[in-house]
Structure 1
């Protein structure tokens, strides 16, 4: 009986400690968020991004490129409020199983928040701050505006920090002129630009493109036949 009571007491203490730790992380993250937006407001950040010379609007993006990006980065993008609890739960499970940060679970909105305000280091407080900025973005901007800002702030390798620089640099054309092959190739690069940039490794870039096409099929945007035709188009370029 005493052993059972002792175990219950220990479990209660561990639970209390975890709650305290989570509360501290959330509070620290909230303060990080407050400090960030106090230094530069969200509106100022957005205005700065939109003032870029090579800024690309959502209407200038090929539909297949948008579908490809969402398929590999955030396929529930239009249905979540800035965070995806399903993706977060899966990421937490995989991270615990691996004993390290191996999966992020971040939505496009969270990735945009990180690009706008924070470093790339995986810290819990930063992840919390990122969530608060993501909620701000979702409250103040449409989904298409958020996606538009996202593709104008992510790194595509080879010194290209927006979709227009990347499409012109890799293919010599504006984003709205990209083919299905080019769109799906470009959509896969930001996951790991140092590996998947075609100027670094054409072979790895193609393997990543195959993953993008598989996701397009799984998400219902492509048929298997269209995916194979898209990949084959690279052999005649």
Structure 2
């Protein structure tokens, strides 16, 4: 009899926890959707894209080295060309790591979500903002192609040292236009936006090169570089 009571108590506790989780998820989703709608009303997607493209130092995607584009996708969002704006595999992995750590240690954001965050929301790590970011990412994916999204992304992210797009960063760090970047410079620059203060090549060259090695490793793992090409990408000059 005692065993039966314990089982019923555990079952009741499970149902209660499940109900609480569902309620919390619904609340976060509704609040996030409200934030998304409000942001979109203040700045429609077309206006957002035009604002980025109107920058005097905007760089079209076809003026960026293929190696740089591959490096960005490999290290930031390797399923970029196959997901619909939110990578649920990466999201679940990040959620598990966050739960294990008891803090926000991994984001799981896609390139599209990062674009949404940079142009519409704050950097604050709260669940309602993450939900709003996901809704905005889905909207962006419906309106723009993957190449257009990548183009907007590299023209609106922070690279450290006061550089807010790929041209500013390339000219500031290397003294050249993005199209002229070497494989070494492409892989070095691709690693910076993950943590601009830490990986700023001018301020923390050692950390920047450590991050660059991670970028190159990811490119080799994804089949973007051969071993010989990887060695070239890690060689200055």
Structure 1 match to 2:137: 134
Displaced runs of 4+ in structure 1, greater than 4 A?
A: none
What CA distance in whole angstroms lies between the structure 1 residues aligned with 2:105 and 2:210?
A: 20
Structure 2 match to 1:182: 185
Structure 2 match to 1:109: 112
TM-score by length of 2: 0.97
Unaligned runs of 5+ in 1: none
Q: Output aligned runs, 1:1-237, within 5 Å.
A: 1-232=4-235, 234=236, 237=237
Q: What's the secondary structure of 2:134's corresponding residue? A: helix
Measured against aligned partners, the alpha-carbon deviations of 1:196-225 in whole angstroms (never above 9, x if no partner) come to: 111101111111111111111011011112
What CA distance in whole angstroms lies between the structure 1 residues aligned with 2:183 and 2:221?
A: 17
What CA distance in whole angstroms lies between the structure 2 residues aligned with 1:181 and 1:97?
A: 36
Measured against aligned partners, the alpha-carbon deviations of 1:86-115 in whole angstroms (never above 9, x if no partner) come to: 101110111111111000000000000001
Q: What's the secondary structure of 2:191's corresponding residue? A: helix
What CA distance in whole angstroms lies between the structure 1 residues aligned with 2:233 and 2:8?
A: 64
What CA distance in whole angstroms lies between the structure 1 residues aligned with 2:181 and 2:187?
A: 9
What CA distance in whole angstroms lies between the structure 1 residues aligned with 2:182 and 2:163?
A: 19
Q: CA RMSD in A?
A: 0.9
Aligned residues between the structures:
234
What CA distance in whole angstroms lies between the structure 1 residues aligned with 2:181 and 2:116?
A: 27
What CA distance in whole angstroms lies between the structure 2 residues aligned with 1:135 and 1:2?
A: 47
What CA distance in whole angstroms lies between the structure 1 residues aligned with 2:92 and 2:13?
A: 26
What CA distance in whole angstroms lies between the structure 1 residues aligned with 2:150 and 2:80?
A: 9
Unaligned runs of 5+ in 2: none
What CA distance in whole angstroms lies between the structure 2 residues aligned with 1:83 and 1:158?
A: 30
What CA distance in whole angstroms lies between the structure 1 residues aligned with 2:199 and 2:8?
A: 56
Q: What's the secondary structure of 2:131's corresponding residue? A: helix
